[in-house]
């Protein structure tokens, strides 16, 4: 893969104009635009429309015309990043969890990471906006991260405390980018590598992240058939893999029973009937290589009313599935800690 920054982003002359009630004026602004050449020709961010000619000329210098671009990826949808999108009529547009094709069709994905573009990887890097993504690729034995505005050197060096920069989500993503990258191409400012990268790593190592105040609420299903329960194996959980019963996060305002029904449809392609509440379990999970997040999992006994469970092997979560008796379940290793917690509570209630 060849990586070429066509031009770096500008974010100049911030000022306020109190008499006009203007809290922030930027005299000149554009995002960076980055060209990736490999099996496919990819452009990351088309920048501001005032720099249309600069973009076309920079592409021409690299023997690429607007019609030659196969994929156009927007790191987020602020105008200084997307205003020239219309120039690339033959390109497939990738933004957040969606892929827009030149023929007018659209594909929506559950996760950013599920979108496949040749030679690169997409990851969510929320914080600056709720739709921010970054691009990871390998070139010349280096790992590049094209971060958009998820990474701003001046904010990090000056420790600027504004809205989103205080959030654990933003700060975790900054740390993650620094752990991954040999070279960072930000939406605005200079390319970051070498000594500059090492200095920034040292700065963020001293950041204190807000502590999680409450556990994540999850609803999971013990799907029973012929006195056996359905279990799945998630290979990347807690860095070691885990056996668990299927389930997922309870969305805001959603009843736990409805979460179970929804997740079984999404995860296994089946419709289930929720019969009864079995109890709850708690555990802690690894986030960003540290054991620092807790979960409260509600367990329900269910039965299948339509369909046969199946796993999409492209799914980055569950990769194996089997049916086990309760005794076999207890012997699975490693078994989800919250299930162990649930079973221990049930054993105690019998004594």
The answer to whether residues 197 and 82 belong to one domain is: yes
Q: Residue 211's pLDDT is what?
A: 58
Assigned domain for 211 exists:
no
Task: Measure the CA–CA gap between 113 and 100, rounded to whole angstroms.
Answer: 16
The answer to whether residues 103 and 230 belong to one domain is: no
The answer to whether residues 154 and 90 belong to one domain is: yes
Identify whether the C-beta of residue 183 lies closer than 8 Å to the C-beta of residue 173: no
Identify whether the C-beta of residue 250 lies closer than 8 Å to the C-beta of residue 221: no
Choose the final residue of a domain: 151, 170, 205: 205
Identify whether the C-beta of residue 275 lies closer than 8 Å to the C-beta of residue 197: no
Task: Measure the CA–CA gap between 96 and 128, rounded to whole angstroms.
Answer: 13
- Enclosing domain of residue 263: 216-350
Assigned domain for 8 exists:
yes
Q: If residue 134 lies in a helix (H) or strand (E), which one and from where to where?
A: strand 133-139
The answer to whether residues 166 and 229 belong to one domain is: no
Q: Residue 166's pLDDT is what?
A: 63
State whether residue 182 is helix, strand or coil.
Answer: coil
Task: Measure the CA–CA gap between 84 and 332, rounded to whole angstroms.
Answer: 54
The answer to whether residues 251 and 342 belong to one domain is: yes
Distance, first Cα to last Cα, the chain: 64
Q: Residue 238's pLDDT is what?
A: 66
Choose the final residue of a domain: 205, 235, 268: 205
State whether residue 289 is helix, strand or coil.
Answer: coil
The answer to whether residues 188 and 150 belong to one domain is: yes
Assigned domain for 151 exists:
yes
The answer to whether residues 186 and 284 belong to one domain is: no
Identify whether the C-beta of residue 343 lies closer than 8 Å to the C-beta of residue 349: no
Assigned domain for 21 exists:
yes
The answer to whether residues 152 and 287 belong to one domain is: no
Q: Residue 316's pLDDT is what?
A: 46
Q: Residue 226's pLDDT is what?
A: 92
Q: Residue 291's pLDDT is what?
A: 47
The answer to whether residues 179 and 303 belong to one domain is: no
What angle, 0 to 180 degrees and rounded to 10, lies between the N-to-C axes of helices 194-205 and 168-180? 140
The answer to whether residues 64 and 190 belong to one domain is: yes
Q: Residue 40's pLDDT is what?
A: 96
The answer to whether residues 122 and 221 belong to one domain is: no
Q: Which of 15, 115, 6, 9 is nearest to 71 (CA)?
A: 115
Tell me, what CATH number does 242's domain have? 3.90.79.10
For 102, 160, 166, 277, the CA distances from 90, given in Å and listed in that order, are 6, 40, 40, 53
Name the pTM for this structure. Answer: 0.61
Tell me, what CATH number does 132's domain have? 3.60.15.10
Domain count, the chain: 2
Take residue 272 and report the two structure tokens written for it. 């289930």
Phi and psi torsions of 18, nearest 5°: -55, -40
Choose the final residue of a domain: 205, 227, 250: 205
Q: Which of 113, 109, 71, 103 is nearest to 88 (CA)?
A: 71
Any idea which residue has 């329960």 for tokens?
229
Assigned domain for 64 exists:
yes
In the beta sheet, which residues pair with residue 92?
71
The answer to whether residues 197 and 237 belong to one domain is: no
Assigned domain for 210 exists:
no
- Sequential pLDDT tens for the chain (351 residues): 899 999 999 987 667 777 878 777 777 899 999 999 999 999 999 999 999 999 999 999 999 999 999 999 999 999 999 999 999 999 999 999 999 999 999 999 989 999 999 999 999 998 888 899 999 999 999 999 999 999 989 888 887 666 566 677 788 889 999 999 999 999 999 999 999 999 999 998 887 655 555 788 999 999 999 999 999 988 877 667 889 999 999 998 899 999 999 999 988 999 999 999 999 998 877 554 444 578 899 999 999 999 999 876 444 455 688 999 999 999 998 899 999 999 888 775 554
């Amino acid at each position: 893969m060849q990586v070429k920054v066509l031009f770096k982003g500008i974010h100049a002359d911030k000022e306020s104009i109190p008499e006009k009630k203007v809290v922030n004026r930027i005299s000149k602004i554009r995002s960076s635009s980055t060209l990736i050449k490999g099996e496919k020709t990819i452009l990351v961010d088309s920048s501001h429309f005032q720099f249309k000619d600069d973009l076309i000329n920079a592409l021409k210098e690299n023997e690429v015309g607007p019609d030659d671009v196969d994929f156009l990826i927007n790191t987020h949808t602020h105008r200084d990043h997307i205003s020239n999108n219309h120039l690339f009529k033959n390109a497939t547009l990738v933004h957040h969890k969606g892929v827009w094709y030149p023929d007018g069709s659209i594909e929506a994905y559950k996760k950013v990471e599920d979108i496949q573009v040749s030679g690169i990887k997409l990851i969510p890097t929320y914080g600056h906006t709720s739709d921010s993504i970054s691009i990871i690729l390998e070139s010349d034995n280096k790992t590049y991260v094209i971060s958009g505005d998820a990474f701003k050197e001046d904010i990090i060096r000056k420790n600027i405390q504004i809205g989103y920069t205080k959030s654990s989500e933003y700060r975790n993503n900054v740390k993650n980018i620094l752990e991954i990258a040999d070279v960072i191409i930000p939406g605005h400012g200079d390319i970051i590598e070498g000594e500059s990268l090492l200095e920034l790593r040292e700065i963020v190592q001293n950041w204190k992240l807000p502590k999680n105040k409450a556990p994540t609420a999850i609803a999971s299903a013990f799907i029973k058939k012929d006195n056996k329960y359905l279990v799945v194996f998630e290979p990347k959980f807690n860095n070691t893999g885990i056996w668990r019963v299927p389930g997922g996060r309870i969305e805001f305002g959603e009843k736990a029973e409805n979460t179970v029904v929804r997740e079984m449809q999404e995860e296994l392609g089946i419709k289930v009937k929720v019969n009864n509440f079995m109890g709850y379990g708690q555990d802690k999970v690894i986030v960003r290589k540290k054991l620092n997040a807790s979960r409260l999992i509600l367990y329900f006994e269910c039965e299948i009313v339509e369909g046969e469970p199946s796993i999409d092997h492209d799914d980055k979560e569950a990769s194996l599935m089997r049916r086990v008796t309760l005794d076999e379940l207890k012997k699975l290793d490693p078994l989800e800690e919250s299930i162990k917690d649930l079973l221990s509570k049930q054993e105690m209630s019998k004594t």
